[in-house]
Structure 1
C-alpha cells in the first residue's frame, strides 16, 4: 500500500467510528461510498460500481449518488434494514485550510426516519427499546417524526406473551434491546424477532444500566427526579426509556425538543389483541395482499388529516376497557352522525390542515424549510374556525374545544415574515416578506434597482452604438455581459472588452457594467444570507412553542377521528351500542362491516347473536363450507371491537358487556421455518387461548382439531369445549364439521347449537346465510367441491365412496361417539353381531385378558370406542388368519 491520500485518511478516521453503518461521504455534489459499503450499495441500489485511486496498489471500489436526490436512495437502503451515516462538509470549502473538514451529522435507521416523503402519512414509524431481566421487561417506543414516546413494563408471569402482544400491536420498524444472559426467555425473544422479521440492534449493555439510563432521562427532560414523568415505580421502564433516548441522541446528534413527554401506560388499560386475532380479523390490512382495502380500517377511515388517521389506527389497535371513556366517544360520534351540517363543515376545514405533529417535529428538529412554515400557517388559519364550530358542544367535544390553542401568535409571525408564494429554489432567497426587516428591504431594493439600471443601460448602449440587436445577459460564470451578433461587430466601441466568443455572436463587458454588476450581486448575495438567518430565527422562535402545537395537534387528531366515525356511521346506517358491565353480548341484525361494503348490489343477510357466561356460553355452529360460518363469527368479534373503540356498529340493536380480550383460531397455516406443521401451529395457538382467556373474553374458534385424524381431532375439540365451559366460562363461538359435537347441548351447561341454513334443489345447494337454532346433519362437502370446479369424474367417484362408507359399520361407530350416556354406549356394543372364533387363539393373543380389564361403565363413549377399536383390529387379524 502506498501512502493514503489526505481525503482517504479522513475517510478511514470517520469510518472507524461507524463500522455498522453505510457511510455516505460528501464530495462536492455527490455522496460517495467506498470499499465494502460501495459493493453493498451498488448491489442494493443497482448503481454502477467504479473505482478511485486512493493510495492503494489497486483502485478502491467506489459508487455514488447525487446529493439532491439522496433521499430516495437512503429510503431504499433503510427499507432493506441498513443503517446509513451521513457525512457532510462542516466548513465552507472556500475558507478551508487544506482538506475540508467533514463529520457525520446524522445516522439514519429504519426507526429514526423523519422525512415525511419516506413515511406512511397515516401510520406511525416506531423505534422500540426492550430491557429484560428475570422478573420483568421494560418496553419503550418512540415515533421521532411526531415526538410520541410510550413506556410500559410487564412483571411476573406472561412476560413472553405480553411482549409478543406489544410487538404485534406496535409493529416497530426497529428494535434496540438488552436481555440479561440468565433470563430463560431470551431465546424465545430472539424467535419473536425472527417471526416478525424485525430489524434489531443489540445496543451497548452499559446504556441499559439503571443509573446511566436515569441520568439520560433527567438530562433530556431537564428534571431533578423522574417521579414527575410518571416513572416512579417503573424500574425496567426507566432503563428501556433511558436507553432509547441515548440511542436517539447518538444517532441524531441534536437536541430533540419535540420529545417532551412520556406516556406511561399499563397493559390492563386496553383490550389485548394477539397476533392471530389481528391477523385473522384483518384489522388494518388484509390477509391476502396485505392491503388496507378490505380491512376494518379501510371501512372506518374517513379521516381528513394524517394525524387523525394515525389516531384512528392506534384506537383500533387498542380498544378501550373503561365504560366511561367508551360512552364519551359514542356520545361525540352520535352528535356528529346526527348533525350533517356540522360534520360537513368540520371535514371541509380539516382537509386544509397539514400534519401538525410532523411539522412540529421538523421545526424542533431543525429540518423544517420555509414551505413547512407556510404549511403550518395555512393549517393554523383553519384552527379558529374549527374551534368555533364546536364551541357549544358537550362532554368529549367540549374537552376537545378546550384543548385547542388557536396559536394566533405563531400564525402572525409566519404571516409577517415568510412569503406565501415561495420560489422553487429556496437557496436563491426570496423567502422573507418586504416590511419584516429594514436591511432586507434595503438590499432587495438595491437588487431591483440594479436590474432596472441594467435595462436602462441596455437602451442607452443601443442608441449610442446603433446596434439594434444588442442585449444584456447574465450567467453564473461571467456575470453580466453585452451580447452583439457578428454582423454588427464593426460597430462595437473601443471601450468594450471581449469576454467570450460564440458561433453567432460575441460577448463583451464594460467598466460601467461591472460596477453595476458589483452592486447588484453584492446586494443579492447579502440578502440571501440575511434572509436565511431571519428564517432560522423565525423557526427557532416557533420551536419554543412546540408543546402548544403538539397539544392542539392531538386535539385536532381526536376531532378528526370522531368526525370520521360519525361519517361512517351515517353513511352505513350504524347504530349506537349499549356498553355496560354485564357479561352479555346481545346483537340484533348484526352485519359484517367489511363484507357488507365489498358486496356489489347485493344485500347482506343480517344475523343475531346472544352470548353470556351461563346458559348461552358456547355456540356450536355447523353448516357447509362457504355457507358463512366464518363470516358470522368474525362479524361478532368486529362488532364488539368497534363498539369498544367508541364506534357505532352495523346492527339494529346491541347490548355489549365489556370484553377484556378477543381470541381467534381461524384457518390453517404452517411454520416450516420453525419445523411446525399446520396442526402444531393450531395447537400452539389453542394453548395460548386456553392459558390466557378469562370469563370476560370472547373466543372465536373455527374447526378446532381438523389437522389430525378424525378421532383425535374430535376428542380434542370435545375436550376444548368442556374446558372452556367448566374452567374458563368465556363466551365462545365454535364452528365445526364434527357434527358429533352437537350432542353436547344438554350434556354440558351453556352449550347451544346453531346452524347456517341452506336450501337443496336437486344436487345443488343455495346458501341462505341465515343462522338458526339447531344442528346440521351434513356438511355438503361434495356439493361444495363441485361448485369449486373439481372434475366431474372425481365428484362421481366421491359420491360412490361416500355411499359405501355410509353403508358400513362406520355409521355404527359414529353412533358411539354421539351417545348421550355410557349406558347407551354399552347397550349398542352388546347388540353387536357376535362372531364365533377359537378361544385358544384369544387366550394366546392376550385378548381375553384385555377384555377382563375393560369396564365400559367407567369410561366415556369415546374411550370405550378407542378400546374396542383396538381389540377389534386384533380379532380381525385372527379372522383373516383363518382361525
Structure 2
C-alpha cells in the first residue's frame, strides 16, 4: 500500500470531523473533492472523475466557479463545507495550513446569487415536545427571526400550516422526533423536498436554549424578548442558533431579536386553502405567474417583494392595523405625482438586509458597499417626500433614519467603480488616507521615471526602437531587437533571449522596480486593511440600517398596492367587526388580468349570519362557480391584508379563517384516495371553522355513490349552518340540496346563468338568485371535444335513464293496481270487522269468540283465493 501524501492525510483529518458534508478542499486555484465526495461531485455536478496516484478518486473545479457548483449541491439538499488555505503558500513550512471557514446548508445560504431575491430562505427549527410543538424560523440572509408554539389538539395542524406558509429550505428537529407521525404528515403536505436534519437533544434542552438566546441578544432575561414562558418555542429557537454557530455562521450579530407571534393572531390559512387560492404560486405549474402575488407585486426592491409576500401569507385580524395600511395605500393612490416620484427613488434601493448580512459574514466586497452607499444617498430625498404627504406617510418618515454620517463616510472612503476583488487595490478614494496617497504618488511617479528613462536610453544608445517593458515573471526590462544588438552598452545585463530580441536590466532599472513594485504591494495590503475597517464601520450601524430597510420595505409595499389600485380600478374596502360580507360587482383579481380578448363579468356577493349565511350555488361545469367562490375569498383576504379590492364596493366583516375544499387528488404517498383526501379536508374544516370563518366547499361528496354523496353533503351543510354558523359558499351538482333553502331560513339558492341555443349552451358567467335542475354535462363534454359518436350515444343513454320504457311503465301500473286493490274495502270482511269491533269481550263466551274468529279466518282465505 502506498504511503499517503501529507495533503491527503490533512484532508482525511478534516473530513473525519465533517462526515455528513461535501468537503470542498482548496488546492491553489481549484476546489478539489476526494474519495466518495469526488464520486458524488462527478455525478451531481457533471464534472470529470479522475484519480490521484490511481488510488484516490478526484474531481474538482476552478475556485471562481464556486457559486455555480455550490448552488447545484445546495439545491439537491447537500451540506457543503468550504476548506480554505489560511496561510500564504509562499511562507508555509511544509503543508499549507487549511481550515473549514464556512459550512453551507440549504437553510444557511447567504450568497445572493444563490437566492430568490423576493423570497425568504428559512431555516426552521422544530421542537417536538409532550403535548405540543415549538417552532423558530431564521433567515440568516436577511436577519429575520420569528418564533411560536402551540399546545393541545390544534398543535399538529399548527405545525402543518406554519411549515406550508414558511416553505423552509431546511428543517432541523430534535433527535428521535424526525420520524414523528405529525411531522411526517406535515412534511408530506409541503409538496416539495426539504432537507430534515436531526440535531442533538442537548441543543434543545430548555436551560441551554435559554442561555443561548440570552448570550446571542445580550439580555438579562427572556422577559425582554417576550418569550419567557414559551418553553417549546425557546427550545426551538435556541437550537436554531446553536446549529448556526456549529456551522460557522459568524457571530450572527445581524440577527434581529426574535419576533414572537401567535398563529391565531392572523387569519388562519391552512395548506389546502393556500394551494387552492393560489396565493403565491399556481397549483399546476408551481410558478409565480398566474398567482395573486403576481398581480399585486409591483414592488421596486427585493425588500418590498419579500414583505409583500409575508403580508399576503398572514392577513390581519386587527381592524385598526388593517385601516392603517388602507390609509397609507389611499394616500399614495390619491396622489399620482408623489406615487411616481417615490417609485423612482425606490428604483435606487438595493437589498439592504442581504447586503448587511454579507457585511457580518465578511463576504461583502467594495461593490456591495457602494450599492449600500447608493441606497443611503436616496434616504434624505425619500424622507423629505414622505414628510410632504399625509399622516401615514409622515409616520413612515419618522421611522426612516437617513444615516447621513455613514453615507458621507462611504463616499469619502470608496471609489465609484471599485474592482470585484478586495485584495488587488483600487478600492480607496484619493485623499481618504495619507499613507495610501504617499504610496500612490511613489508608484505613479516611479512609472513616470521609468518612461523618462526609456527616452534617455534611446538617446544614449541611438536605438530608436528600444523600449522599457514589464511582465509579472521578469519584472521591468529593456528590450533591444537583434538588428540593433551591436549597439548594446556594456553595462546592460542580459536577462532573457527571444526569437528576435534580447532583454536586459540595469542596476538603475532594478532599483526603481523595487520602489514601484514595493509600493504596489504595500498599497494593496493597506487598502485591504482600510476596507475591513470600512466594513466594520458599516456593521456598527446595523440597527439603523435595519430600521431603514424596514421602512423602505413598507413604503415599497404601499406603493405597489397603490399602483395596483390605480391601474386596475380597485376600491377601498370598508372593514368592520360585523358579520356582513357585501361585495358589489366583484372581480377575480387574477382571472381578469390573464383574460386577453374578453371582459371579465363581475358578480355580487352578500353573506351575513341572519339572512344569507350559506349560499347554495348550482350550475354546470365551466359556468364560473369556482371562479365566483375564489374571487369572494380573495377579495376578503385582500381587504384584511390592507389592500384595495377589485370591486365597485366592498364591506367586509372580519373573517378569522378562510377554508377551502376545491378539487382533490389522490395522496399516493399518504396512502389516501381522492375521496379520503376530500373527507379529510372537510373534517378539518368542520373541526376548526368558527362563526367568524369563511368556508368554500365545492362538490362535496362527489367521490362516492350518489346517495352516499347527497347524504354526506346535506349533513355537512346542516352542520356548518346549525352547529358552526360559518359564512359559507357551497357549490354542488346535487340539485336535491336546493330544497334546503325552504327548510333553513338563512340558506339562499344561487345559480350560474346559462343560455341555451338548441343543443348548444352559452355560459353567461353571471351568478343570480335561484337554482338549476340540469347539469348540462353532455353539452360541456361536447365543448371539451368528445367525439360526436360518444356525444350521441350519451344522449341515448340519458334519455333511457330519464324516460322509463313501456315495460317499466306497465310493471309500474300493475304494481300500482295491486297496491290499490289491497287497500279497497271488501263488504263481507268489513262486516266481520265491525262485528268484532262492537263485541263486548267481557261478556262474550269462549264459544262465541271462536265462532267470530272462524268467520274472519274464512273471509280472509276467500280474499286470498280471489286475489
Larger radius of gyration: 2
1:592 aligns with 2:588: yes
- Provide the TM-score with structure 2 as the length reference: 0.92
Shift of 1:497: 2.3
Given candidates 317, 326, 339, the residue that maps to 1:321 is 317
Shift of 1:97: 1.9
Can you list the C-alpha shifts for 1:135-168, whole angstroms capped at 9, x where unaligned? 2211001110110100111122211100000001
Q: What does 1:115-514 align with in structure 2 at a 5 Å threshold?
A: 115-178=111-174, 185=181, 188=184, 192=188, 196-514=192-510
Q: Distance in 1 between matches of 2:230 and 2:532?
A: 39
Shift of 1:484: 2.6
Instruction: Describe the SS at the equivalent of 2:153.
Output: coil
Does the CA-based 8 Å contact 2:135-2:149 persist in structure 1? yes
Shift of 1:487: 2.7
Q: Distance in 2 between matches of 1:2 and 1:615?
A: 88
Does the CA-based 8 Å contact 1:132-1:179 persist in structure 2? no
Q: Distance in 1 between matches of 2:183 and 2:524?
A: 58
Q: Distance in 2 between matches of 1:833 and 1:172?
A: 72
Q: Distance in 1 between matches of 2:772 and 2:166?
A: 42
1:391 to 1:743, Cα distance in 2 relative to 1, 3 A: same
Shift of 1:195: 5.1
Instruction: Describe the SS at the equivalent of 1:745.
Output: helix
Does the CA-based 8 Å contact 1:484-1:505 persist in structure 2? yes
Q: Distance in 2 between matches of 1:830 and 1:633?
A: 49
Q: Distance in 1 between matches of 2:118 and 2:84?
A: 31
1:68 aligns with 2:47: no
Does the CA-based 8 Å contact 1:328-1:395 persist in structure 2? no
Does the CA-based 8 Å contact 1:590-1:608 persist in structure 2? yes
Instruction: Describe the SS at the equivalent of 1:4.
Output: coil
Unaligned residue ranges in structure 2 (runs of 5+): 823-867
Instruction: Describe the SS at the equivalent of 1:9.
Output: helix
Given candidates 729, 737, 754, the residue that maps to 1:733 is 729
Q: What does 1:81-96 align with in structure 2 at a 5 Å threshold?
A: 81-96=77-92
1:394 to 1:338, Cα distance in 2 relative to 1, 3 A: closer
Does the CA-based 8 Å contact 2:494-2:502 persist in structure 1? yes
Q: Distance in 1 between matches of 2:813 and 2:729?
A: 34
Which residue of the partner structure matches residue 14 of structure 1? 14
The farther-off stretch of 461-470 and 474-483 is 461-470
Q: Distance in 2 between matches of 1:321 and 1:21?
A: 44
1:603 aligns with 2:599: yes
Instruction: Describe the SS at the equivalent of 2:556.
Output: helix
1:46 aligns with 2:42: no
Q: Distance in 2 between matches of 1:570 and 1:829?
A: 69
Does the CA-based 8 Å contact 2:160-2:189 persist in structure 1? no
Aligned Cα RMSD in Å?
2.2
The farther-off stretch of 248-257 and 434-443 is 248-257
Can you list the C-alpha shifts for 1:69-98, whole angstroms capped at 9, x where unaligned? 111101100000000000111222222221
Q: Distance in 1 between matches of 2:432 and 2:786?
A: 78
Does the CA-based 8 Å contact 1:160-1:188 persist in structure 2? no
Instruction: Describe the SS at the equivalent of 2:546.
Output: helix
Can you list the C-alpha shifts for 1:171-228, whole angstroms capped at 9, x where unaligned? 0100011166699755645754885422110011111101111111111112222111
Q: Distance in 1 between matches of 2:420 and 2:450?
A: 24
Can you list the C-alpha shifts for 1:780-819, whole angstroms capped at 9, x where unaligned? 1111111111111001111111111111399x99xxxxxx
Which residue of the partner structure matches residue 854 of structure 2? none
1:326 to 1:809, Cα distance in 2 relative to 1, 3 A: farther
Which residue of the partner structure matches residue 778 of structure 2? 782
Q: Distance in 2 between matches of 1:126 and 1:263?
A: 14
Does the CA-based 8 Å contact 1:703-1:735 persist in structure 2? yes
Shift of 1:132: 1.4
Shift of 1:832: 5.0
The farther-off stretch of 476-485 and 375-384 is 476-485
Q: Distance in 2 between matches of 1:432 and 1:191?
A: 50
Q: Distance in 2 between matches of 1:652 and 1:571?
A: 15
Shift of 1:426: 4.2
Instruction: Describe the SS at the equivalent of 1:416.
Output: helix
Q: Distance in 2 between matches of 1:336 and 1:829?
A: 76
The farther-off stretch of 316-325 and 193-202 is 193-202
Given candidates 716, 719, 723, the residue that maps to 1:723 is 719
1:694 to 1:194, Cα distance in 2 relative to 1, 3 A: closer
1:5 aligns with 2:1: no
Instruction: Describe the SS at the equivalent of 1:790.
Output: coil
Instruction: Describe the SS at the equivalent of 2:768.
Output: strand
Shift of 1:459: 1.2
Q: Distance in 1 between matches of 2:689 and 2:602?
A: 28
Q: Distance in 1 between matches of 2:805 and 2:718?
A: 28
Can you list the C-alpha shifts for 1:270-294, whole angstroms capped at 9, x where unaligned? 1111111111111111112112111
Can you list the C-alpha shifts for 1:375-434, whole angstroms capped at 9, x where unaligned? 011001111100001114444323211110000111011011111122355432011111
Shift of 1:486: 2.9
Q: Distance in 2 between matches of 1:300 and 1:591?
A: 14
1:337 to 1:833, Cα distance in 2 relative to 1, 3 A: farther
Instruction: Describe the SS at the equivalent of 1:404.
Output: coil
Which residue of the partner structure matches residue 872 of structure 1? none
1:663 aligns with 2:659: yes
Which residue of the partner structure matches residue 26 of structure 1? 26
Shift of 1:707: 1.2
Query: Between Structure 1 and Structure 2, how many residues are aligned?
Result: 819
Which residue of the partner structure matches residue 567 of structure 1? 563
Which residue of the partner structure matches residue 873 of structure 1? none
Instruction: Describe the SS at the equivalent of 1:169.
Output: helix
Instruction: Describe the SS at the equivalent of 1:175.
Output: strand
The farther-off stretch of 427-436 and 502-511 is 502-511
Given candidates 788, 791, 813, the residue that maps to 1:792 is 788
Q: Distance in 2 between matches of 1:717 and 1:485?
A: 99
Does the CA-based 8 Å contact 2:159-2:186 persist in structure 1? no
1:217 to 1:666, Cα distance in 2 relative to 1, 3 A: same
Given candidates 682, 685, 690, the residue that maps to 2:681 is 685
Instruction: Describe the SS at the equivalent of 2:423.
Output: helix
1:111 aligns with 2:113: no
1:276 to 1:193, Cα distance in 2 relative to 1, 3 A: closer
Can you list the C-alpha shifts for 1:714-747, whole angstroms capped at 9, x where unaligned? 1111111111111111111111111111111111
Which residue of the partner structure matches residue 746 of structure 1? 742
Q: Distance in 2 between matches of 1:215 and 1:198?
A: 29
